Homo-oligomer: A and B are copies of this chain.
């Protein structure tokens, strides 16, 4: 049982939209991801997804509005809701979601990372 330092883990990688698993509990996973630019529109059929912004600012585009999540804030995107994360500048995010959640949800394309790596 060891503690996890977010800044330390985040300093270990530089790529974008490539989540790393840093914790597991109750069938859920904690992931860290860096983002820059536009992700793809997608939804998760069976998973609610929590975005906690560690550093920077993340736009979560929904079909009817955009919610800007700043450092120290989180947003839960409910299952079934189409969303597109957009980072105008680099942002560092902690995700909390069920184990096995696919990053691109219902969409499979070049941004899909089927098995996020442990860090």
Contact = CB atoms under 8 A, between A and B. Distances in A.
Interface of A: 1-7, 23-26, 28, 30, 47-50, 54, 62, 67, 69-70, 72-78, 81, 96-98
A1 B51 CA distance: 12
Contacts of A98: 26
Contacts of A70: 5
Contacts of A50: 23, 25, 30
Q: How many copies does the complex hold?
A: 2
A25 B72 contact: no
- Give 5 closest A-B pairs by Cβ, nearest first: A25-B48, A3-B75, A5-B73, A25-B76, A3-B73
A75 to B, nearest CB: 4
